[in-house]
Every structure is written in C-alpha cells, then in structure tokens.
Amino acid sequence: MNGNTRQRYLLYALGFVALIALWHYVGPMLGFGGSDEATGTNTAQRPAVDAEGDEPARPSRRVAATHQGAKPGDTVEVLRMADLDRVPAESAPGRDPWHYIDPPPPPPPKPHVPTKEELEAQRRAEEAARRAAEEAARRAAEEAAKPHPPELNWQYLGRFGPPEKQIAVFTNGKQIINKQEGEVIDNKFVVAHIGYESVDISFVGFPTVPPKRVGVTPRRPGQPGGNPGGNPG
C-alpha cells in the first residue's frame, strides 16, 4: 500500500466520523434522528395515550448551543398532529354587531306613596273645593230666584229733533213710537238717555239694575221711519 492509498483511506474515515458527529448534534435540532438517551426521555415511563385518548406530546427538545441565535433555555415545541384533527367546541352565540336591537325600556317608576301630611293637605283642598262649589250653587240659586227685568222687545230706529229736545224712534215690528228722555214704554222701559247712535233703557221697578244700551237697528228697504213732525207717542 503506497502513501497515496493510505492517505485516501484516512480521509474516508475522517469523513465518516464527521457525518456521524453531524447527525448526532444537528439531527435533534432539526426534529429527527437521535436516541431517547440523547434527549433525556424514557419511553418505558411515557404513557401510550393521555386522559382524552390522544397521544401525549413529546417533551421539548432543547436547541443545540451551536445553532445560530440560540440561547440557553430555548426550546422547540413538537407539533401534535392529533390537535389538528380535533373539532373545536361550539361557542355560545353573542351579540350580532350587524343587527340593531332596541334597548329594553326602562323599568317603570315606583308608585309614590303619599305621606300623612300629603294626605291631610289633599283632604283640606278637597273640602275647600266642595265648600266653594256649594257656595257658588247657592248664589246661583238666589240669583235665579230674584226677579229679573223683562227683555226689551223694541228696536231703536234713530233720533230727530233739536239738540235740547231729542226724540227717539222705536218699533216693535207692528207700530212705531216716539219717546223723549224720561218717558216710559209699555210701563216697563224708561228712556234714560238718548245718544248719537244709541239709547240707554232703564227698567221700571228695578232701580238697582244698570241701564241697557241699545244701538240703532239698520232699516230694511220699505220700512217706515219715525215721524219727524209728529208728537211723541
């Protein structure tokens, strides 16, 4: 065996040793290769399935110190294929952000319970209102029982004559009469005052009743007027 052949066999041996070392250190970091002794696990003590019937996760393998950027304590989690097949449990339905719901109405207020003072004040107010109503009814009855002046059934048509002796003209639809101030009509009405376009009529037997003011009644076509040249009727 010459020197070249011997050197070639040595290179082969060194390359084989380098491959074994590379497989021993780099294989566990990539997730394959290595023995249970290298990873510090005991297959005899690991159960076949967990409480849910799935294969338990393998212990985390520590990253080799020779890996670029690796730090002491870093771990690489092993992917559990059984978790990918597990169906997630149904979650409770929540509020739909795309569906508007009217808020519930506020609760009705509690009914007010009146106090003793409020009940007494209410009773006094009701008593005062009852007395006022009774007094108004009594006065109305007294007023209705009193004699009232008769209704004036004469219309005032106008006046004529000199200013110091004015004569008022009246009609009841059937006849026309002329009266001066102070004269009486039908023994019921007194011509108290003759104005420019109205007269004040007092009532016989009712001195406390204020006079009633009567305006001029518009004449209809064909209606006779007063008697300018006649005497008061």
Q: Which long-range contacts does 83-87 make (Cβ < 8 Å, 24+ apart)?
A: 83/54, 86/54
Domain ranges of the chain: 3-41+56-83, 155-215
155-215: CATH architecture: Roll (2.30)
- Region 121-147 average pLDDT: 91
Choice among 35-49, 146-160, 162-176, 187-201 with the minimum mean pLDDT:
35-49
- Residue 154 CB-density burial (10 A; 0-12 exposed, 13-18 middle, 19+ buried): buried
Please give the mean pLDDT across all residues of the chain. 76
| pLDDT at 228 exceeding the cut of 70 | no
Q: 43: how many CB neighbours lie within 10 A of its CB?
A: 6
228: DSSP letter: T
48 pLDDT exceeds 80? no
pLDDT for res 130: 94
Joined together, the tokens standing for residue 191 give 């011509």
